[in-house]
A and B are shown apart, each in its own frame.
Chain A
Amino acid sequence: MSDVTNTKRVIPDRLGTKASRILASWEVLLFAVAVAIFVFNALASPYFLDVWNLSDATFNFTEKAMIAFAMALLVIAGEIDLSVAAIIALASTAMGGAAQMGIGTAGLVAIGLGVGLACGAVNGLLVSGLKLPSIVVTIGTMSLFRGISYIVLGDQAYGKYPESFAFFGQGYVVWAFSFEFVLFAALAIVFAILLHATNFGRQIFVIGNNEFAARFSGIPVERVKFILFLLTGLMSGVAAVCLTSRLGSTRPSIAQGWELEVVTMVVLGGISILGGAGTIGGVVIAAFVMGLVTFGLGLLNVPGIVMSIFVGLLLIITIAVPIIGRRIREMR
């Protein structure tokens, strides 16, 4: 491929047309993958293209995606929260205990969200207040939060939630659109606006790209990070309400291993794990991709632990492919 391309490469700062850039973007690639998986599933299983089946399939990712939105902001800012699944366990345990004492639905939701916020505040204080590395801190709080659930529950479980509480995980708003799916869509819009159209969102990107410069630009780095941990805790609380309501029971092992799936979703969505880059749109598409993969494999009777192999591979391959691609381009 000849001189023409060579002369073009003389201009190093040319970015190409806007359309070509959009076509080569991570989100579009991911969307193509999502469509491919959708078509493959539709061909592989006759049960896939059923409205109610598809509606059921959304439960595979809505709760995780709610956390992934907040986690995306946190990862863009250069931090991570591995305690999200443990927060779900603790919030769910608190709601279960409250339900046992006869507290009504509104009270339960308040408790779930409140515990989420409190856990987020603990993480935030440790990371931005005491300036500790978030990976280790949240490994510690992950053990602590789930550990408290184990102390409270042991090998027992809470059941007996009020009937109206079931709406959050099992109710439908209109037709086949579940409450969870509508909430997921609404939160996607809220987070997209927060990240891409507000000062706060810009500050997150600046912190992720260069924390030092952010400080000198007068951005309250610690406060922004604290708010992001609060937000992640709150979204874990929201997910806890939905999941507990959907399952109708609480065990201390609830949502075990979700932190991995949430991080996978975030990274798959094109958020740079090193911070500073990414979009909420990417996370939304990644949520659909993961939901479709697990649901499709489920229809083909693939056991859950084998699905987790696919999730792990998906995580590594989606990060490795662009790196290898860049290497090949640099070699030419």
Chain B
Amino acid sequence: MKKLFKHREILLVVIIAIMIAGFATRAQGFAAPGNLANIFNDTSILIILALGQMTVILTKSIDLSVAANLAFTGMAVAMTDAAYPGLPLVLLVVMAIGIGAFLGAINGYLVWALQIPSIVVTLGTLTIYRGMAFVLSGGAWVNAHQMTPTFLNIPRMPLLGLPMLSWIAVAIVIGGWFVMNRLPFGRATYASGGNPTAAVYAGIDVGRTLFFAFVLSGALAGLCGYLWVSRYAVAYVDVAIGFELDTVAACVIGGISIAGGIGSVAGAVLGALFLGVIKNALPVIGISPFAQMAISGIVIILAVVFNARAERRVGRIILRNRAAVEVQA
């Protein structure tokens, strides 16, 4: 099995490389290091969100409220910065992560304690959080001139040739890899999604693992709330609308099974980069940006078909055979 997953990630790397090479023949300079760095920076937020989404999907759940969480947190942070320009940025970032984690905890609590299916919970909180962003701001925008220069500049500050935003994403990818592969929590998420019954027997608190997966997803969404508002230098209610689907798409493309328990950090990152390359290539090779939605749709469907074929080998066949034997007996 492990070989197969390695395969998926290598496959994605090859596909992304071929895509970049292909686009480079149409548009000079697409494969230049500077442009690739731009694409990575552009995809940073999606990468961070996809890692949170991955944690949740690994536990057999889904978090559709990430984009709404991002919008609410971004609005809250931007308004705080506009109202109290004296506050240090660290405090605002902590606030963003805190609000995000709290909103994630609400999702997690409803899924854990009340055992409501996560898709229903997060469909509900998706509208509630975005509605709250409207209530908070009264529909008004927070524009660049109202934000403090530090608030706007830190993510753009170059360090060793890459903006801070990219470095934050790199740090979170490394942290995510460490958490998923080296900490009990990471192993618990795989176990909870892969086989909940066995996980319980192994002494894992499945509900608690789920809860913390949602908290993590929420905290990352909160952080992205600040990053998004700062990067685009504007906060309004409809910020990142529909972006939750991109995060799910990145995970599905990266080979993370929607049935839980299967997937890797590298997969999620590559899935996000795949979407990022397409998004940046469309205008360059002269395809209308309006086509992006349909293309992501097709990519999601193809990825699901592909995933299903890769996963359909273990459980189901055994189950069918055993049932057949029982019927004969």
Residues of A227-283 contacting chain B, CB below 8 A: 252, 257, 260, 263-264, 267, 273-274
Structural contact, A151 and B294, CB atoms closer than 8 A: yes
Q: B300 contacts A139, CB within 8 Å? A: yes
Q: Is the CB of B259 within 8 A of A144?
A: no
- Specify which chain B residues have a CB less than 8 angstroms from the CB of A274 in the assembled complex: 117
Determine whether A142 belongs to the interface, using a CB cutoff of 8 Å to chain B: yes
In the complex, are the beta carbons of B124 and A312 less than 8 A apart?
Answer: yes
Residues of chain B with a CB closer than 8 A to A137's CB: 301, 304
Q: Please tell me which stretch of A126-134, A179-187, A201-209, A288-296 contacts chain B, meaning at least 4 of its Cβ atoms lie within 8 angstroms of it.
A: A126-134
Interface size class of B (residues with CB under 8 A): 35 or more
**Which residue on B lies nearest to A263, using beta carbons?**
B123
Give Cα A140–Cα B308 distance, bound, in whole angstroms: 14
- B305 contacts A308, C-beta separation under 8 Å: no
Instruction: Report the minimal beta-carbon distance from A8 to chain B, rounded to whole angstroms.
Output: 28
Q: Is A159 an interface residue (CB 8 A)?
A: no
Q: Which of A126, A139, A303 contacts B134 (CB 8 A)?
A: A303
Q: A309 with B132: in contact, given A135-B62, A151-B288 (CB under 8 Å)?
A: yes
Q: Is B237 an interface residue (CB 8 A)?
A: yes
A331 located at the interface, meaning its Cβ lies under 8 Å from any Cβ of chain B in the complex: no
A319 interfacial contact with B, CB 8 Å: yes
Q: Are A131 and B293 in contact (CB under 8 A)?
A: no
Known: A140-B301, A143-B300, A144-B298. A323 touches B126 (CB 8 A): no
The answer to whether B301 touches A308, judged by C-beta atoms less than 8 angstroms apart, is: no
Q: Which residues of B contact A141 (CB under 8 A)?
A: 297, 301
A320, B292: Cβ atoms closer than 8 Å: no
A residues near B127, Cβ cutoff 8 Å: 257, 260, 308-309, 311-312
Binary contact track A40-78/B, C-beta < 8 Å → 1, others 0: 000000000000000000000000000000000000000
Residues of A within 8 A of B296 (CB): 143, 147
Q: Which of A132, A136, A144, A316 contacts B124 (CB 8 A)?
A: A316
Contact of A144 among B237, B252, B301 (CB under 8 A): B301
Name the residue on B nearest A148 (C-beta).
Answer: B294
Residues facing A in B257-292 (CB within 8 A) are 258-259, 288, 290-292
Asked whether A197 is an interface residue with its Cβ less than 8 Å from the other chain, the reply is no
A contact residues, total (Cβ < 8 Å): 47
Q: Which of A80, A136, A305, A316 contacts B121 (CB 8 A)?
A: A316
The CA-CA distance from A145 to B297 in the complex, in Å, is 8
Most buried by B among A126, A133, A143, A306: A143
What is the CA–CA distance of A142 and B292 in the complex, to the nearest angstrom? 13
A139 to B305, CA, bound (A): 13
A132–B305 touching, CB < 8 Å: yes
Separation of A212 and B239 alpha carbons in the complex (Å): 44
Measured CA separation A132–B121 after assembly (Å): 22
Q: Is the CB of B297 within 8 A of A309?
A: no
Complex alpha-carbon distance, A320 and B291, angstroms: 40
User: Most chain-A CB neighbours within 10 Å: which of B135, B288, B290, B295?
Assistant: B290
Task: Collect the chain B residues with CB atoms within 8 Å of residue A264's CB.
Answer: 123-124
Least distance between B139 CB and chain A CB atoms (Å): 8
Inter-chain contact A312/B115, CB cutoff 8 Å: no
Partner of B116, one of A130, A303, A309, A319: A319
A140 to B125, CA, bound (A): 21
- A191 CB to nearest chain B CB (Å): 22
Q: Is the CB of A140 within 8 A of B123?
A: no
Q: Restricting to B105-156, which residues have a CB under 8 Å from any CB of A?
A: 110, 114-117, 119-121, 123-128, 130-132, 134-135, 139
Query: Does B290 lie within 8 Å of A150, measured CB to CB?
Result: yes
Of the residues A136, A151, A305, contact of B252 by C-beta under 8 Å: A136
- Tell whether A315 pairs with B120 under 8 Å between CB atoms, given A133-B259, A147-B291: yes
CB pair B131 A143 closer than 8 Å: no
CB–CB A140/B300 < 8 A: yes
A313 touches B (CB below 8 Å)? yes
Partner of A133, one of B290, B304, B327: B304
* Cβ–Cβ < 8 Å partners of B292 in chain A: 147
With the chains together, A303 CA to B248 CA distance in Å? 30
How many angstroms between the C-alpha atoms of A131 and B288 in the bound complex?
33
A85 CB to nearest B CB, Å:
12
6 A-B Cβ contacts within 8 A? A132-B305, A135-B62, A309-B135, A312-B124, A312-B131, A320-B116
Instruction: Name 7 extra pairs, CB < 8 A, besides A305-B130, A312-B128.
Output: A135-B119, A137-B301, A144-B298, A306-B135, A309-B127, A313-B124, A319-B114
B residues touching A (Cβ–Cβ < 8 Å)? Answer: 62, 110, 114-117, 119-121, 123-128, 130-132, 134-135, 139, 237, 245, 248-249, 252, 258-259, 288, 290-298, 300-301, 304-305, 308, 323, 327
